[in-house]
A and B are shown apart, each in its own frame.
Chain A
Amino acid sequence: MRVKAGLAFVTAAVLAVPLEPPTLHAQAADPAEAITRALPADVARRVLAGIADARARGLPADLLARRALELSAKGVPPAGIETAVADETADLAAARDALAAGGRSGPTDDELDAAGTALGKGVDGHQVSQLARSAPSGRSLAVPLFVISSLVDRGLPSDEALRRVLARLEARASDGQLEGLAAAPGRADQPGKLTGLDMAETRRPAEAGRPAWVPANAAAAAANRPLNPGRQGPGKP
């Protein structure tokens, strides 16, 4: 799912004005304050200490704070939150090393988040490095890594998930096309069922035959007279 700009800007603005949707006017305040409010004091203190330590090590501390808030919002017990934040800190550190080994020594927070998530789901650090090495330079690895994580979550072995994503990167697939691999399906999608697209692909391929843009009825113009060879019978052009 990607946010569209451009024309969507105008459309959304036109739609938004009369509808007056509610607006969240500002990003929430300091996540640390929210953690203090959300967790028991002793747990909050330890979680914040861990986050401060991560920040001192150059890791994206905000990711860890928001992970704690996510789990709190979902009703995860405080002990589980504390453990999850500690695990994620370790994953982020390992992710930074794996990305650096693949030539990405200055990853963005999104890339670190995605790589840490992948490692947390059992993807090997060497596989993360391989992706970093193989992806076009300058391309963000965040979406490819999140897609790998989603495929692994759905039961695909990590090497197979990596292979599929790498194949698409090689084919210059956009992030949006990669997301198609892992996006939540529409309600009509049913596992195991062929789709309209699948079926259409099995017919005569659109690029294999007389192209649709070649005029088939140019004979009359070529002959400069009406021509209906079909009425002349087979074998007679």
Chain B
Amino acid sequence: MGSLDAGLTRVGYSGVPGITAYSISPALQLFRPNASLLASGVFSEFSGGGWSVQGSASGSIFVPSGSRFQAELGAAVTGSAPDSGSGTAQLLGLARLHLAAARHGLWAGGSLGRTWDGVSWRTAAALEAAGWARLGNATVVASTSPSWIGDSLRFLDNEATVRWVRGPVELGAYGGFRTWFEPGNATATAWGGATAAYWLSNNLAIVAAGGSYPADFGQGLPAGSYVALTIRVATRRPPTPSKVESREYRLLQPLARPVVPDFQVTTISGTNRLVRIRAPKASSVEIMGDFNDWRPLPLSKDPGGDWTVVVPMSKGTHRMNLRVDGGDWGVPPGVTALNDDFGGVVGILVVE
């Protein structure tokens, strides 16, 4: 999913006057069964003049496993650049081992990389151990993470977060504290905050947030506090914690494997719909359904390897099947599948 936030933030720092920022922030989240990619950026213009940009991107791949253990390998890049002064950057590689059940889990891992605070590059390393649980509509995560920055900073971050979703309301809260190993006389710090989002539709939300956050010693960014209000436009609402139920559901055997890897239906005009199927290795593809009184209709192959046909389909739900190379009648991906009560399956295609 993608989103764009536009809003106002008041940021305060100890010993420094507060400042108001007008920010635009795009974000992108891509999830695949064995991978995830998260990226976001912020462009801010400040009330007293000046601007800054910052961004981050992280990606992970999940190594297949037949057990409850699953390995994650990933990388994260963050950075910032003000209109004056030096920018900052951090490059990290990470590895985690997850042990997950339906509603709770643990992970342990670590990260290693380099960080630039505007003056010099230093090595950054961290270990982490965490647990999570889903309690009703809430997801709770608690973690502890000893960190090393260069050869002079050693500290332990402990943090807990909770996210709760019900209907159009999303609430999030977090809190943490940092204790120091080196230098031993450093002051322990704590932080916390909350975010509330109200989704006016599946694509538009108002988000308010306030709280404090700790210093990022790797990038030389100070601790601060903030209050913020933003409007969010998104391709869709983010998944809810109850999404876990779909994962529990995936634990059930699927009714049918899709007979083709990709299937799209788009409206051309009126009730004419273009059916496009990705099956580059097939020598024939046929479709049938209640829209054509269940007569097998061959698709034609285009030079790109896609199979297409234009079919009149009225709005509503349609029962349909596909088959490849004269095999069994099956269902395409993304279509609700039902047993047809005679040993086969039938798909329910929704046409708007």
Q: Which residues of A contact B (CB under 8 A)?
A: 1-5, 8-9, 11-13, 15-16, 19-29, 31, 34, 66, 69-74, 76, 80, 84, 108-110, 113-114, 117, 120-121, 142-143, 146-147, 149-151, 153-156, 164, 167-168, 170-172, 174-176, 179-224, 226-231, 233-235, 237
Would B288 and A4 count as touching, CB distance under 8 A?
no
Q: How far, in angstroms, from A181 to B239 measured CA to CA in the complex?
A: 13
Q: Quick one: which of A149, A197, A215 has the most chain B CB within 10 A? A: A215
| A19: chain B residues within 8 A (beta carbon) | 302, 308
Chain B residues in 8 Å Cβ range of A70: 290, 294, 319, 340, 346
What separation, in Å, do the CA atoms of A84 and B245 have in the docked complex? Answer: 33
Question: What 9 new A-B contacts, CB under 8 Å, besides A207-B172, A235-B189?
Answer: A12-B267, A24-B312, A84-B341, A170-B167, A191-B251, A194-B62, A197-B239, A200-B36, A213-B5
Task: Name the A residues within 8 Å of B50 (CB-CB).
Answer: 220-221
Is the Cβ of B251 less than 8 Å from the Cβ of A215?
no
Chain B positions within 8 Å of A217 at CB level: 52, 54, 80-82, 88, 221
Contact assessment for B19 and A221 in the assembled complex, using a CB-CB cutoff below 8 Å = yes
The residue from B13, B174, B274, B334 contacting A12, defined by CB atoms under 8 A apart? B274
Q: Which residues of B contact A190 (CB under 8 A)?
A: 33, 64
A180→B347 CA distance, assembly (Å): 13
Q: Top 4 A-B pairs ranked by shortest CB distance?
A: A230-B220, A208-B172, A28-B293, A213-B25
**A88 shortest CB reach to chain B, Å:** 10
Is residue B151 within 8 Å, beta carbon to beta carbon, of the partner chain?
A: no
CB-defined contacts of B207 to chain A, threshold 8 Å:
211
Q: Bound complex: CA of A208 vs CA of B241, how far in Å?
A: 13
The 0/1 profile, CB within 8 Å of A marked 1, for residues 1-44 of chain B is: 00001010101011111110101010101011111101010101
B228 at the interface (CB under 8 A from A): yes
| Measured CA separation A23–B273 after assembly (Å) | 9
